[in-house]
Chains A and B, each alone.
Chain A
Amino acid sequence: MVCTDNIDFTIPLQPAADRRMIKFVLMVNRQGQTRLSRYYHSVELSRRAALEADVVRYCLSRKKDQCSFVEYKDFKVVYRQYAALYIVVGITDSENELSIYELVHNFVEVLDKYFSRVSVYFSLQSELDIMFNLDRVHIILDEMIQNGHIVETNKSRILAPLTAIDKMVES
Chain B
Amino acid sequence: MSDVVEKTLTALPSLLSLDSHPGSAKLSSTSKLGNLIRGITELTSKHEEEKLIQHELLAIKEQVSSPNTTMRQMKELMVRSIYCEMLGYEASFSYIHAIKLAQQGTVLEKRVGYLAVSLFLNESHELLLLLVNTVLKDLQSTNLIEVCMALTVVSQMFPKDMIPAILPLVEEKLNHPKEIIRRKAVLALYKFYLIAPNQVQHIHNKFRKALCDKDPGVMTASLHIYLQMIQENPDAYKDLTPSFVTILKQVVGGKLPMDFNYHTVPAPWLQIQLLRILALLGKNDQSTSEVMYEVLDESLRRAEMNHNITYAILYECVKCIYTIHPKSDLLEKAAKCIGNFVLSPKINLKYLGLKALTYVVQQDPKLALQHQMTIIECLDHPDLIIKRETLELLFRITNAQNVTVIVEKMLEFLCISEDDHTTIDLVGKVAELAEKYAPDNEWFIETMNTVFSLGGDMMQPDIPNSFLKLLSEGFDSVEEDRKLKLFAVNSYVPLLRGEPGKLPQRFLQVISWVLGEYSHLREDLEPAEVLSLLAKLLDMKNSSSETKSWVLMAMTKLCKGGTDASVTQEVSETYSSSLDTVLRQRAHELQYLSQDPELRARVLPRGANPETLEVDSSLSFLDRFVSEALAAGAAPYKPPHQRQEELDQSKALSLEPYGLSLPISMSSCSITDRQSPTLLSMSSGLSGDSADLSHKGGSSALKLDGVKRVWGREGYLAQREPVEEAAQVEVPSPIQSPGRQGEGDSLHSQTPTQTPTPEPEQEKQQLASSLFVGLASQSSVSLMGKSEPTPQRFRRKAKGQGPGSSFNASEQISSSLISPPSAVDNLLCNNLLDSNNASELAEQTSQLSQRLTTANGTCHTEAELTEPDTKGCNPALRRDNCVVAADPGPHDDPGRLTEVCLDSYLPAELSGLSHSEIAPLCANQSLNLSACHVQKEDSLILVVFIINSSESAIQQMLLQVDSEELEVSCLCDSPAGEMTSHSVAVGQYSLTVKRPAVHVEVVGTVSYQLPAGTSQSLQFSYKVPLTSFIRPFVVSTEEYGTMWLSFSHDTKQNLTLINDNQEPLTATLNALKKKLQLHVVEVIGMEGIVACRLLQDLPCLMHCRVNAGWLAVWLRSPVPDLPDCLIYHCQRALQSL
CB within 8 Å of B: which residues of A? 1-11, 13-17, 20, 27, 29, 33-38, 42, 45-46, 48-49, 65-71, 73-74, 82-85, 93, 96-99, 101-103, 105-106, 108-109, 111-112, 115-116, 124-132, 134-135, 138-139, 142-143, 146-147, 149-157, 160-161, 164-166, 168-169
Contact = CB atoms under 8 A, between A and B. Distances in A.
Contact of A10 (B19, B419, B796): B796
Interface string B73-90: 001000100110111101
B12 A85 contact: yes
Interface in B98-121: 107-108, 111-112, 115, 118-119
Given A42-B122, A154-B267, 10 more contacts: A2-B681, A5-B793, A46-B88, A49-B88, A99-B309, A105-B5, A147-B190, A151-B224, A153-B270, A166-B108
B1056 to A, nearest CB: 5
A122 B37 CA distance: 20
B1120 interface: no
Contact of B15 (A99, A105, A111, A142): A111
B1136 to A, nearest CB: 8
B668 to A, nearest CB: 10
Given A11-B1109, A135-B112, A154 B217 contact: yes
B217 A152 contact: yes
Nearest to B352: A98
Contacts of A2: 680-681, 1056
A45 B88 contact: yes
Contact of B152 (A45, A70, A142): A142
A9 B1108 CA distance: 12
Contact of B789 (A6, A34, A46, A131): A6
Contact of B262 (A102, A139, A157): A102
Given A16-B231, A111-B12, A150-B269, A102 B309 contact: yes
Interface stretch (B362-370, B497-505, B671-679, B913-921): B671-679
Contacts of A15: 194, 667, 1107-1108
Contact of A98 (B115, B220, B315, B678): B315
A155 B351 contact: no
B795 A8 contact: yes
Contacts of A116: 11
A146 B262 CA distance: 20
Contacts of B797: 10, 93
Contacts of A17: 194, 228
Nearest to B798: A8
Given A45-B88, A82-B12, A83-B13, A129 B187 contact: no
B791 interface: yes
Interface string B1083-1110: 0000000000000000000000001110
Given A146-B155, A161-B148, A165-B107, A71 B16 contact: no
A93 B421 CA distance: 14
B213 to A, nearest CB: 14
B1037 interface: no
A137 B796 CA distance: 37
B817 interface: no
Contacts of A7: 677-678, 681
B95 to A, nearest CB: 12
Interface in B3-40: 5, 8-19, 21-24, 27, 33-34, 37, 40
B215 to A, nearest CB: 10
Nearest to B34: A132
A142 B312 contact: no
B15 A115 contact: yes
Contact of A142 (B115, B191, B864): B115
Contacts of A11: 674, 798, 1108-1109
Contacts of B40: 33, 131
A42 B8 CA distance: 35
Nearest to A166: B108
Interface in B281-316: 308-309, 311-313, 315-316
Contacts of B112: 135
Contacts of A85: 12-13, 16-17
B886 to A, nearest CB: 33
Nearest to B1107: A15
Max count, chain A CB within 10 A of own CB: residue among B86, B220, B671: B86
Given A4-B860, A82-B9, A150-B269, A156 B259 contact: yes
A34 to B, nearest CB: 6
Given A71-B388, A126-B23, A157-B217, A96 B315 contact: yes
Contacts of B85: 45
A66 B1056 contact: no
Contacts of B508: none
Report whether over half of chain B's contact residues are helix, strand or loop; otherwise say mixed.
helix
B11 A112 contact: yes
Interface in B312-368: 312-313, 315-316, 347-352, 355
Nearest to B109: A169
Most buried by B among A33, A102, A108, A161: A102
B34 A35 contact: no
Contacts of A67: 347-348, 350-351, 383, 385-386
B283 to A, nearest CB: 15
Given A13-B671, A16-B1108, A102-B262, A131 B677 contact: no
B156 interface: yes
B155 A129 contact: no
Contacts of A4: 677-678, 681-682, 698, 793, 860
B24 A135 contact: no
Nearest to A30: B17
B856 interface: yes
A34 B87 contact: yes
B590 to A, nearest CB: 33
A42 B668 CA distance: 14
Chain B CB count within 10 A is highest, among A68, A132, A169, for A132
A55 to B, nearest CB: 13
B119 A138 contact: yes
A134 B79 contact: yes
Given A13-B675, A70-B385, A135 B115 contact: yes
B348 A97 contact: yes
B736 interface: no
Interface centre among A42, A67, A71, A106 (most CB of B within 10 A): A67
Nearest to B152: A142
A50 to B, nearest CB: 8
Nearest to A103: B269
B622 interface: no
B180 A160 contact: yes
Contacts of B276: 20
B352 A97 contact: yes
B17 A29 contact: yes
B90 A45 contact: yes
Interface centre among A8, A131, A165 (most CB of B within 10 A): A131
B191 A147 contact: yes
B521 interface: no
27 contacts: A1-B1056, A5-B857, A8-B795, A8-B798, A11-B798, A13-B674, A13-B675, A16-B1108, A33-B40, A67-B385, A67-B386, A70-B385, A71-B421, A85-B16, A97-B351, A130-B15, A131-B40, A135-B75, A135-B79, A135-B115, A139-B111, A149-B224, A153-B260, A153-B270, A157-B180, A161-B149, A165-B107
B69 interface: no
B115 A138 contact: yes
B194 A5 contact: no
Nearest to B123: A42
A27 B308 CA distance: 22
A101 B311 CA distance: 11
B322 to A, nearest CB: 15
A85 B19 CA distance: 12
A129 B31 CA distance: 14
Contacts of B857: 3, 5
Contacts of A49: 87-88
Given A8-B795, A67-B383, A165-B145, A102 B308 contact: yes
